[in-house]
Amino acid sequence: MAEIKVFESIMNRNNALAEKNKKLLKGALVINLMSSPGAGKTSLLEKSLKSLSKKYRTGVIEGDIATSNDADRIKRHLSPSSVYQIKTENYGGGCHLDSKMIAKAVKAIKADKKPYDIIIIENVGNLICPADFYLGEDKKVVMLSVTEGDDKPLKYPGMFAAADLVILSKTDLLKHLDFSLKKAEKYIRKVNKKTLILNMSVKKNEGMKQWLGIMGEWVKRKRALF
Amino acid sequence: MHEAAIAGEIKDILLSKLKEYGKRRVTAVKLEFGELTSVVPEALKFALESAAEGTPLAGMRTGVKIIRSKAKCGKCKRTFRVNDLNYICDKCYSTDVSVIAGREMTVKTVEME
């Protein structure tokens, strides 16, 4: 029985399809938004879309194991044809999104035909697997809510090491908790020297202006490449 | 959970190799992972066994090798192992450090019949 040399990177197929998806999306800024469940990804999107959709042609791809609850929330703020819900239970109940699912979503919101400025992919709530699966995004945004514990960046280093922006969310709750912003920042820096870090309370509007500013800058930079 | 997601990707690669070489089943596979991927060999083997059930991969032997991490300091050019997620040069304490090994996830060899 012959042993065949393969030397194939396990993520090759996913990454190749991700690059193909990226090409279809042309000049659109693609954001991969990740966090554990309940950190506030959908709330952040709901709040941001009010301003973003006035200025930019925006599309949202939602990922969950089951239900279309999140897409339903987003559709209140965005044309329903620009919103797509991936249910990973249809792909075996995956705990993350992969490029195959994104390829389908891109077609569903017609991002291969009509131009978008921003596409936001809200990944399945999970700090582990989504970090391994590149989706063709330009930027990875990781949210960590202050109710989760400030040492999470050390416990899930893969996720935080890959981030371009870490949002520390729900800061309005800090007064009730032992969470230390200083420690969280120190731990993020331990695994990622380059990421931006932003404190945010969607409820109290803290950090929203900066977040929209960062997105605007990223859109500009992406456009300049096309 | 992490291992199950990776096992799914490995399964796809192996099934496509069977097709490519016109073989019936995979009897053994050798895999390599960098230590910075946090893959636990036992968890990965278990996840692969579950993913293989009822497929031409069922019953295959799985070998998992973990590769040591290696980082290079941009300042003093020293190479060192990344310990405890500290991306700081252990000689000159520079943070200008790039990882050159430790993030691999590779299917090395496959045996089929």
For A9, which of B12, B36, B105 is closest by C-beta distance?
A: B105
Residue B1's pLDDT is what? 56
Judged by a CB distance cut-off of 8 A, whether residue A194 touches chain B is: no
> Are B95 and B87 within 8 A, CB to CB?
yes
Percentage of chain A modeled with pLDDT above 90: 88
Residue B18's pLDDT is what? 96
Neighbours of B57 (CB within 10 A): 21
What does the pLDDT look like over A31-81, one tens digit per residue? Answer: 999 999 999 999 999 999 989 999 999 999 999 999 999 999 999 999 999
Residue A217's pLDDT is what? 98
Give Cα separations from B81 to A102, A153, A157, A208, B73 (angstroms).
36, 20, 16, 40, 11
How many pairs of residues across A and B have Cβ atoms under 8 Å apart?
A: 78
Residue A1's pLDDT is what? 63
Q: Name the token pair of A211.
A: 């977040």
Can you tell me the distance from the alpha carbon of B16 to that of A9, in angstroms, rounded to the nearest whole number? 14
Predicted model pTM? 0.89
> Are A111 and A58 within 8 A, CB to CB?
no
Can you tell me the distance from the alpha carbon of A142 to that of B8, in angstroms, rounded to the nearest whole number? 24
> Are A132 and A46 within 8 A, CB to CB?
no
Taking the CA of residue A169 and the nearest CA in chain B, the distance in Å comes to 24
For B6, which of A3, A10, A92 is closest by C-beta distance?
A: A10
What does the pLDDT look like over A136-193, one tens digit per residue? Answer: 999 999 999 999 999 999 989 889 999 999 999 999 999 999 999 999 999 999 889 8
Can you tell me the distance from the alpha carbon of A28 to that of A30, in angstroms, rounded to the nearest whole number? 6
For B111, which of A1, A92, A193 is closest by C-beta distance?
A: A1
B1:A129 CB<8 A? yes
Residue B4's pLDDT is what? 87
Q: Name the token pair of A151.
A: 């040492």
Taking the CA of residue B13 and the nearest CA in chain A, the distance in Å comes to 8
What does the pLDDT look like over B15-73, one tens digit per residue? Answer: 999 999 999 999 999 999 999 888 999 999 999 999 999 999 999 999 999 999 999 99
Range A205-208 contact pairs with CB under 8 angstroms and sequence separation of 24 or more: A206/A171, A206/A172, A207/A167, A207/A171, A208/A47, A208/A48
Chain B residues whose C-beta is within 8 A of a chain A C-beta are 1-2, 4-6, 8-10, 12-13, 17, 21, 27-28, 31, 36-38, 85-87, 95, 104-113
Can you tell me the distance from the alpha carbon of A30 to that of B99, in angstroms, rounded to the nearest whole number? 26
Would you say residue A199 has pLDDT above 90?
yes
* Interface mutation vs chain A, best among B36, B107, B113, most A CBs within 10 Å: B107
Q: Once rounded to an integer, what is the mean pLDDT over residues B85-92?
A: 81
Judged by a CB distance cut-off of 8 A, whether residue A7 touches chain B is: yes
Q: Say how far residue A88 (Cα) sits from the centre of its chain.
A: 16
Taking the CA of residue B65 and the nearest CA in chain A, the distance in Å comes to 13
Give A22's pLDDT tier (boundaries 50, 70, 90).
Answer: very high
Chain A residues inside the 8 Å CB shell of B13 = 6, 8, 10, 13
